Amino acid sequence: MLALAAGAPAVIACFAMMYVEGYPAKVQWTVGILVLGVWGACVMAVGERVASPLRTLANLLEAMREGDYSIRARGARGDDALGEVMQQVNAMGATLRMQRLGALEATTLLRKVIEEIDVAIFAFDSESKLRLINPSGERLVGQASERIMGLPASDIGLDEFLDGEGERTLQRAFAGGNGRWGISRSTFREGGLPHSLLVITDLTRPLREEELLAWQRLVRVLGHELNNSLTPIRSIAESLGSILRRQPRAEDWEEDMLHGLGIIGSRSESLSRFLGAYARLAKLPRPKLDPVDVGAWVHRVSMLEPRLRPLLDEGPPAVIQADADQLEQVLINLVRNAVDASLETGGRVFVGWQRVGSAVQVYVRDEGHGLSNTANLFVPFFTTKPGGSGIGLVLSRQIAEAHGGSLSLRNRADRPGCEAIITLPA
* pLDDT tens, residue by residue, 47-104: 888 888 888 888 888 888 888 888 888 766 667 777 888 888 888 888 888 888 888 8
- Residues 6+ away with beta carbon under 8 Å from 328: 297, 300, 301
Give the pLDDT of residue 391: 66
Give the pLDDT of residue 130: 92
Do 298 and 370 share a structural domain? yes
The band of 306, judged by pLDDT with boundaries at 50, 70 and 90, is confident
User: Which of left, alpha, beta for 390 (phi over 0: left; psi -120 to 50: alpha)?
Assistant: left
Do 230 and 180 share a structural domain? no
Query: CB of 397 within 8 A of CB of 311?
Result: no
10 Å CB burial of residue 327 (0-12, 13-18, 19+) is buried
Task: Decide if 319 is inside a domain.
Answer: yes
Give the pLDDT of residue 315: 93
CATH code at position 345? 3.30.565.10
The three-state secondary structure class of 294 is helix
Do 251 and 340 share a structural domain? no
Do 302 and 270 share a structural domain? no
Enclosing domain of residue 319? 290-425
The band of 278, judged by pLDDT with boundaries at 50, 70 and 90, is low
Task: Decide if 107 is inside a domain.
Answer: no
Task: Decide if 81 is inside a domain.
Answer: yes
CATH code at position 168? 3.30.450.20
Give the pLDDT of residue 268: 81
Average pLDDT of the segment spanning 293-308: 89
Q: Which of 202, 237, 259 is the last residue of a domain?
A: 202
Q: Which of 282, 303, 337 is the last residue of a domain?
A: 282
pTM for this entry: 0.44
Average pLDDT of the segment spanning 179-204: 86
Cα–Cα dist 93/68, whole Å = 9
Given a cut of 60, is residue 381 above it in pLDDT? no
Give the pLDDT of residue 227: 74
Q: Which of 96, 126, 161 is the last residue of a domain?
A: 96
Q: Which one-letter amino acid corresponds to residue 164?
A: G
Number of domains in the chain: 4
Task: Decide if 387 is inside a domain.
Answer: yes
Do 61 and 144 share a structural domain? no
Do 217 and 194 share a structural domain? no
Do 317 and 394 share a structural domain? yes
Do 414 and 297 share a structural domain? yes
Task: Decide if 112 is inside a domain.
Answer: no
